[in-house]
Structure 1
């Protein structure tokens, strides 16, 4: 069998589409299946085999961690590469996934380069990257050049360096430090609360002007890190004395100047949610019902 099959598991169709497009654009010939949650993935894996699983952590019915544990109990899936794709970047969560047998970890939001690099590394470990190169070769217009160095074509001309498995005791997945604009955003006039917006290129402090179950209206200070329409992101919210934190996945639906002039110092963003996790929706409902100002997010809290 020459095909390389990947299963993408996420309850948000937008995230699944991002992953599928990124893989198809950079890894020609790859075959992609998808599941809307861990339960559906479990049913699919019970009757089919795959070479790699890319899975979200927080999903209804069966979480990514529960799916991972189930996979490692199945003889046919004990060694199948399993990459967790999630906004949970805390060290404790990463270690929990490692102890359950995860192969690698991708934090949301992610860039195509980050995604493809992790997938290539996982496939190289099992020898499937060469198989993928061989399967893709006939589809390219100039197959001769690809055949001479098929692996180099998929790896950017560089040999893959496979690092040893991560030591659970070692520091891992440290949260990205906020940019200077995080402090500046806190000084913007008005607003009903503050939060942290994580983009693939960095972190922005932001003010929440309005919040609904569908989206959030955010205000950020204009800086070198300019948000892009349709860019995936994660909105971190903290509320209440208990320090509850919600990490909401989504994308930037709109970006506009807050002030009616070309040198506007502030930008207004429409951040549309893609999560369908009942716990996150319940959290959002409670935030909206309280109508109180959120505390400023403390990185690493």
Structure 2
């Protein structure tokens, strides 16, 4: 079978590299190319054919839905087109279906979820099956612990014998200095943190163009370090027809707000990977004006 060619379209470099690495690891024979937005993807698609397009929705210059419309109406191509987007509401799904989308996958997504979608879509057009020749599906293979330890069981350390206290040890020792607790966070707004199938309501305690610090409740679930997440920014006073600014990010740090085993709040720092100038401009206004900035209204592309 000839090598299948996949085009990854996303304005976030981190997302593009992650998708390309995931596909190449699972399918080393695939030829994977990428484009920073719909306009660049147009140029590539006019020069050569692709077997699959994985495309973000929100991008500068030309959005994913505009690229899809061009592919179906002007380019006259029936190439499988999967929309990779944080827009999961019914209206957007219907719009994509009407434009001729083949399928879609919501952000944030796991490597396994992405590969399953690729296999599902290409399986209808090519002889592609989900075999077990690769471990790139995100699941840990059975017996992986034995593989790492060589099949040998870990030796149990002998119990430690109690030691008699020395004269110096019997003297009263100074009290240990209790750990410093973080200061109460100043709430600057609210947001929803989305990871996997979980949506967690959080408070924004710090905000920059590179990172967002969120205060989240443990009871609502927490993401893992380096996990892909989406932050939905919400501001009071937003207009009825405004949209929520959805920011693609990765989890940088997790820090409990107190040392209690029953700690209820965790500070989650995420690093933003979006490069959309409209979103960055909106964030700049949020930083400058606090929570008084009105809702995110993207310019018409």
Whether these two folds match at TM > 0.5 is: yes
How far 1:65 sits from its partner (Å)? 0.9
Cα shift readout 1:263-283 (whole Å, capped 9, x = no counterpart):
533211111111111211122
**Secondary structure, counterpart of 1:292 in structure 2:** helix
- Residue 291 of structure 2: SS of its match in structure 1? coil
1:13-44 Cα deviation digits (max 9, x unpaired): 11112212322333342221111111111111
- TM-score when normalising by structure 1: 0.74
Partner of 2:59: 59
Rounded Cα–Cα distance in structure 1 between residues aligned with 2:288 and 2:26: 44
- Rounded to whole Å, the distance in 2 between the matches of 1:114 and 1:87 is 14
Confirm or deny: 8 A CA contact 1:252 1:270 kept in the other structure: yes
Aligned residues: 242
Q: Offset of 1:225 from its aligned partner?
A: 2.7
Going from structure 1 to structure 2, the CA distance change for 1:264 and 1:108 (only over 3 Å counts) comes to same
- Report deviation, 1:259: 2.2
> Does the 8 Å contact 1:13/1:274 carry over to 2?
yes
Checking the alignment, whether the CA contact within 8 Å between 2:200 and 2:220 is kept in structure 1 is no
Runs of 4+ in 1 over 4 A off after TM superposition: 260-263
SS of aligned partner of 2:7:
strand
Report the equivalent of 1:200. Answer: 196
For residues 224 and 207 of structure 1, the distance between their equivalents in structure 2, rounded to whole angstroms, comes to 13
CA distance in 2 between partners of 1:15 and 1:202 (Å): 20
Partner of 1:254: 253
**Which deviates more, 85-94 or 221-230?**
221-230
Matches within 5 A, 1:279-298: 279-292=278-291
For 1:232, the equivalent position in structure 2 comes to 228
Contact 1:54 1:83 in 2 (8 A): yes
Deviations 1:110-134 (A, max 9, x none): 11222112111110111252xxxxx
- Residue pairs, 1:115-154, within 5 angstroms: 115-129=114-128, 151=129, 153=131
Q: Aligned-pair RMSD on alpha carbons? A: 2.4
CA distance in 1, matches of 2:43, 2:36: 11
Contact in 1 for aligned 2:254/2:266 (Cα 8 Å): yes
Residue in structure 2 matched with residue 36 of structure 1 by the alignment: 36
208, 211, 215: which one aligns with 1:215: 211
Q: Distance in 2 between matches of 1:38 and 1:49?
A: 15
2:239 to 228, 238, 242: 242
Name the CA distance, whole Å, in 2 between partners of 1:203 and 1:102.
26
Q: Structure 2: how far apart are the matches of 1:228 and 1:215?
A: 16
Q: Deviations over 1:199-239 (max 9, x none)?
A: 01411111100111111111111237332111111111122
Do 2:286 and 2:292's aligned partners in 1 also have CA atoms closer than 8 Å?
no
Cα separation, 1, equivalents of 2:185 and 2:254 = 19
